[in-house]
């Protein structure tokens, strides 16, 4: 439990320093507006119910892409391809909704499967050919985005009309986005269960609860099942797990598929909300990359991903109030700084754990300066595992001194 508290503390420190940096930047760019705007940035998310609804609405897909990246991290893989899996998932959900006229839960299932398929290839290439999954999944981001755009622009129905675009349903000149579900297939919109009235916002639906449920499910799989244990074992030490009789190749592919499925489902949750249409643009969707921030801030913990996604969604909604005085990309800078700081979270954690220990056991100066070499050598994912040993070591040493 102590481990968890220290992780949270380290993340909170990163967040505070990141926000402080953001404030400094605001002052540098335009000092007269900096403080009121910074205040708005911090409070906008809870200023009224519709704003809070928007925070929750954007948090749902963020939790999913965050889970995608976090799950891959836990199993020793870096899934930077969440953006592509998210896009492909979104497309398949919309395809099922608009072209095949299926209900919302089937569409969500389709997005889940599509994301898994898009995660399958990088996993397979990694397992069979040992091609770095970072490079592969980046390539698949671009391939996925372009393929989806191409399909959206070209799919025709029996009448020869472009079925994914609004023109097949209503007379509309818009060609750069998909048809809105409100007229294409209202059955495919994720149910709102009265929440829209409660929050007085059209954005609100049950997607946030679906995302939280899946996060908890994933935590159970990772921490309470043999399957999850095997996946993690492969991440910690591939050779050791092979020696223990675990099929490492199969597990790499499965990890990437589950990870991709999470991201794909995120795409489904967002684009089946009825308030978002897929825009045909030559850019990679940022939701997948924000998932990396979510996972890193949560130190790859599925439950932590819920909170870090809520936080990132919260300051992104706050960031909209920065405009037009400041670019809303200020938020991206703040997030990037937070992630940069959390890259050496291990160092922060070591320092924090040292202080916590010192306060508790009241040890003398000598042990306070005790070196903590082991903790700094591993990488961040291994860090959590390394930490208790170090902490134990420090205690043992301090006890030794007292004796």
Binding residues for other proteins, rule: CB under 8 A, are 25, 29, 78, 80, 125, 129-132, 134-136, 138-143, 146-147, 149-150, 153-154, 282-284, 289, 292-293, 296, 324-327, 329-333, 335-337, 339-340, 342-344, 346-347, 373, 376-377, 379-381
Cβ 372 to other proteins, closest distance in Å? 12
Per the DSSP assignment, residues forming a β-bridge with 177 are 279
Cβ 150 to other proteins, closest distance in Å? 4
Output b/e per residue, 237-250; b: 16+ Cβ within 10 A.
ebeebeeeebebbe
State the residue for tokens 């959590």. 384
In the chain, DSSP finds a helix count (H) and a strand count (E) of 18, 0
Cβ 195 to other proteins, closest distance in Å? 32
When the beta carbons of 303 and 380 are compared against other proteins, the nearer one is: 380
Cβ 16 to other proteins, closest distance in Å? 17
When the beta carbons of 139 and 221 are compared against other proteins, the nearer one is: 139
Cβ 176 to other proteins, closest distance in Å? 11
Residues 125, 13: Cα–Cα separation, whole Å = 38
Residues 308, 302: Cα–Cα separation, whole Å = 10
Residues 403, 401: Cα–Cα separation, whole Å = 5
User: Side-chain half-sphere of 293: how many Cα atoms within 13 Å?
Assistant: 28
Cβ 238 to other proteins, closest distance in Å? 14
When the beta carbons of 342 and 367 are compared against other proteins, the nearer one is: 342
Taken in order 187, 189, 191, 197, the sign of the CA dihedral is negative
Residues 223, 58: Cα–Cα separation, whole Å = 27
Cβ 368 to other proteins, closest distance in Å? 21
Residues 6+ apart with CB under 8 A from 394: 353, 354, 357, 367, 370, 372
Cβ 111 to other proteins, closest distance in Å? 21
When the beta carbons of 134 and 206 are compared against other proteins, the nearer one is: 134
When the beta carbons of 63 and 330 are compared against other proteins, the nearer one is: 330
Cβ 353 to other proteins, closest distance in Å? 17
Residues 147, 225: Cα–Cα separation, whole Å = 37
Residues 6+ apart with CB under 8 A from 71: 79, 218, 222, 255, 258, 259, 262, 300, 302
When the beta carbons of 176 and 402 are compared against other proteins, the nearer one is: 176
When the beta carbons of 9 and 139 are compared against other proteins, the nearer one is: 139
Residues 6+ apart with CB under 8 A from 365: none
Phi, psi for residue 192 in degrees, rounded to 5? -95, -20
Structure tokens given for 306: 């819920």
When the beta carbons of 363 and 387 are compared against other proteins, the nearer one is: 387
When the beta carbons of 305 and 342 are compared against other proteins, the nearer one is: 342
């Amino acid at each position: 439990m102590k481990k968890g508290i220290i992780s949270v503390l380290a993340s909170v420190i990163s967040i505070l320093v990141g926000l402080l940096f953001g404030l400094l930047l605001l002052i540098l760019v335009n000092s007269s507006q900096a403080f009121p705007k910074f205040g708005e940035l911090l409070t906008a998310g809870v200023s009224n119910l519709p704003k809070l609804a928007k925070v929750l609405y954007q948090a749902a897909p963020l939790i999913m892409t965050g889970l995608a990246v976090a799950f891959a991290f836990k199993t020793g893989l870096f899934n930077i391809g969440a953006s592509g899996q998210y896009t492909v998932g979104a497309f398949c959900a919309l395809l099922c909704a608009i072209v095949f006229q299926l209900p919302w839960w089937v569409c969500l299932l389709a997005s889940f499967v599509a994301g898994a398929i898009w995660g399958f290839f990088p996993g397979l290439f990694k397992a069979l050919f040992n091609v770095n999954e970072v490079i592969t999944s980046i390539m698949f981001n671009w391939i996925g985005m372009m393929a989806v755009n191409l399909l959206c622009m070209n799919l025709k129905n029996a009448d020869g009309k472009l079925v994914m675009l609004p023109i097949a349903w209503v007379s509309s000149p818009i060609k750069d986005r998909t048809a809105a579900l409100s007229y294409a297939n209202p059955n495919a919109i994720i149910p709102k269960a009265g929440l829209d009235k409660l929050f007085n916002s059209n954005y609100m639906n049950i997607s946030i609860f679906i995302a939280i449920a899946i996060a908890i499910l994933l935590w159970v799989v990772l921490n309470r099942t043999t399957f999850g244990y095997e996946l993690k074992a492969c991440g910690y030490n591939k050779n050791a797990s092979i020696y223990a009789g675990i099929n490492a190749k199969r597990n790499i592919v499965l990890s990437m598929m589950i990870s991709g499925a999470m991201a794909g489902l995120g795409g489904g949750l967002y684009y089946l909300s009825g308030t978002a249409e897929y825009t045909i643009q030559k850019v990679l969707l940022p939701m997948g990359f924000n998932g990396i921030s979510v996972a890193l801030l949560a130190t790859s913990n599925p439950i932590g991903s819920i909170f870090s996604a809520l936080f990132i969604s919260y300051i992104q909604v706050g960031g909209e109030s920065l405009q037009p005085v400041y670019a809303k990309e200020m938020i991206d800078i703040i997030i990037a700084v937070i992630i940069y700081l959390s890259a050496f979270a291990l160092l922060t954690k070591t320092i924090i754990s040292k202080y916590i220990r010192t306060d508790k056991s009241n040890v003398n100066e000598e042990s306070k300066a005790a070196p903590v070499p082991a903790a700094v050598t591993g990488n961040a994912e291994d860090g959590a595992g390394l930490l208790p040993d170090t902490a134990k070591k420090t205690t043992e040493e301090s006890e030794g001194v007292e004796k």
